[in-house]
Amino acid sequence: MRALIMAGGLGTRFWPKSRREHPKQLLKILGEQSLILDTVERLKPIVTGEEIYIVAMDDQLGKIRKQLNGHAGINYLVEPKGKNTAPCIGLAAVVMQKDDPDAVMVVLPADHLIEDNDVFLKTLQTAEKVALETGKIVTIGIEPNYPATGYGYIQFDQQLAVADGMPLLHVKTFAEKPNVATAERFLSSGDFLWNSGMFVWKVKTILEEIEEHLPQVYDGLMEIRDALGRPEQDAVIRRVYSQIRSISIDYGVMEHAKEVTVLKGNFGWNDLGSWGEVYKLMDKDENRNVLVGSHLIRDAAGCLVDAPEKCVALVGVDDLVVVDTPDALLICRRDRVQEVRDVVDLAKRKKMDQIL
């Protein structure tokens, strides 16, 4: 098994702590280690450093390397420009194929929370076995426990087999992030799982799927493959990436592929997609407040305050998120944390680069 860790995201919903040069995956959001360090160490029982590939943009890789300097052998791949997950996965796939033509590839985001690592690793190993034996695409779905609007969903329609005690299900369709009413319908139907963004497949299989459904992306990847190990490698990657289509693997491939299966992941998963998810996971006081730092609270409930260097006083307010950094302060309603990314977009339009 070879593992791709996608570490090129900007984590805009975690602004103002997540910034262009120090994105979410480098933050210590829960615990004493960064999310990407947790992700790498989580995998070490089943893969070596040489079997780990991390893709990120050039201005992020230096800090990623520094955080992971205790882990030898890791393969670092530069993505010249963020072009969404399909080109990122394709780039890693052609490099892995050169290293091992028969490789099975697991695709993982760099910034998720996994509570039960033993079950998680067993699930990946089972998915690897299924991918090897059947040649199918294997996704990892999560049993939903509330009508989340921040996740995509996977609908299944039949059980194909039982693998290592886990039901292997046939994927009927993928659904984009729904509104509340649709999410409630998904939950009540019983045949939808959250899309975790984790996939397992043979490298050969995913490249064949990209060739069929994204032929222009595939042509670019073949140019890169032919240049690997040659003096012109970096120049070719830069040129191809400047022209390649920006598209997600879900929209570009998964929604069109015919032989897709899903394993249920029951290992305590959270994508830590927003400050709202952090609020749900952290310990709360008697008024349902999460307080990082020393603060003054009077008649306030259901708030998250992350301001370790400053005293924040809350009076007569409920359900707020307050996040303080030296140059920016976020205050928003907890039910609107998904819109924090819109603030980042607004800052870009206003050319406020100093806070990005």
- The backbone region for 135, taken as left when phi is positive above 0, alpha when psi lies in -120 to 50, beta otherwise, is left
**pLDDT value at residue 149:** 87
pLDDT value at 125 more than 90: yes
Enter the CATH code of domain 2-273. 3.90.550.10
**pLDDT value at residue 258:** 86
* Mean pLDDT to the nearest integer, 347-352: 95
Binned at pLDDT 50, 70 and 90, residue 317 comes out as very high
Tokens of 228: 């690997």
| Preceding peptide of 308 cis, ω within 30° | no
Which distant-in-sequence residues (6+ apart) come within 8 Å of 198 by Cβ? 106, 107, 108, 109, 139, 140, 265
User: Mean pLDDT across the chain, nearest whole number?
Assistant: 95
**pLDDT value at residue 11:** 85
**pLDDT value at residue 259:** 87
pLDDT digit string, tens, across residues 135-187: 999 999 999 989 988 889 999 999 999 999 999 999 999 998 899 999 999 99
- How many Å from the N-terminal Cα to the C-terminal Cα in the chain? 36
pLDDT digit string, tens, across residues 20-58: 888 999 999 888 899 999 999 999 999 999 999 999 998
Binned at pLDDT 50, 70 and 90, residue 218 comes out as very high
Distance (Å, rounded) from C-alpha 199 to C-alpha 15?
Answer: 28
pLDDT digit string, tens, across residues 222-236: 999 999 999 999 999
Domain boundaries, the chain: 2-273, 276-355
Binned at pLDDT 50, 70 and 90, residue 329 comes out as very high
Overall pTM > 0.75: yes
**pLDDT value at residue 150:** 85
